[in-house]
């Protein structure tokens, strides 16, 4: 079982990096499918695994993208890990919509708050629309896929029973 979970974690990490490479143009910046693999993993493999995949996936995709925000990507990776961990824990209690809403608000509005003070109001306001649309897109994909991927864990599991 350990090797199966390890392989799935590697797969979700790779999907996170590939998802970050798929850019959907937005008004400012772009929307990427980088979060949904970690969201899936947080429910299917556990919140800790999902958090690790979120952080590692962000760092790898930022590295491949040239690290445009430099060391601030460490902060973003930490924020992603915390948000995905929270999502996984809430989702596993049976509160799908609440988990999705908290991730959406956290990723689109709360996570970029440090940049309001670091890079200024203009940067903060400029990234909000793309972050909101990207977060909405990622959470929608995750919420649609999670119930369909329960078979990866051998059918219904106790933690996912409430979501059926």
Answer whether residue 125 is part of any domain: no
pLDDT value at 158 more than 60:
no
pLDDT per residue as tens digits for the range 35-61: 999 999 999 999 999 999 999 988 988
The whole domain housing 95 covers: 2-21+33-105+136-155
Model pTM?
A: 0.87
The answer to whether residue 90 is domain-embedded is: yes
The pair of structure tokens assigned to 61 is 């995709």
The answer to whether 23 touches 59, Cβ cutoff 8 Å, is: no
pLDDT per position as a tens digit, 83-136? 999 999 999 999 999 999 999 999 999 999 999 999 999 989 988 988 999 899
The answer to whether residue 9 sits within a structural domain is: yes
| Number of structural domains in the chain | 1
pLDDT at residue 51 in the model: 97
Distance CA 32, CA 122 (A): 22
């Amino acid at each position: 079982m350990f090797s199966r979970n390890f392989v799935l974690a590697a797969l979700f990490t790779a999907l996170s990096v590939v998802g970050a490479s798929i850019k959907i143009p937005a008004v400012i910046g772009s929307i990427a499918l980088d979060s949904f693999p970690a969201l899936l993993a947080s429910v299917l493999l556990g919140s800790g695994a999902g958090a690790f995949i979120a952080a590692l996936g962000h760092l790898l995709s930022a590295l491949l993208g040239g690290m445009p925000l430099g060391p601030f990507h460490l902060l973003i990776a930490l924020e992603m890990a915390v948000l995905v961990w929270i999502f996984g824990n809430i989702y596993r209690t049976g509160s799908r919509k609440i988990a999705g809403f908290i991730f959406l608000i956290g990723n689109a509005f709360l996570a970029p708050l440090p940049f309001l003070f670091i890079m200024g109001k203009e940067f903060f306001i400029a990234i909000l629309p793309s972050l909101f649309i990207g977060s909405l897109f990622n959470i929608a994909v995750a919420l649609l896929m999670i119930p369909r991927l329960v078979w990866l864990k051998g059918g219904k599991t106790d933690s996912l029973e409430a979501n059926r």
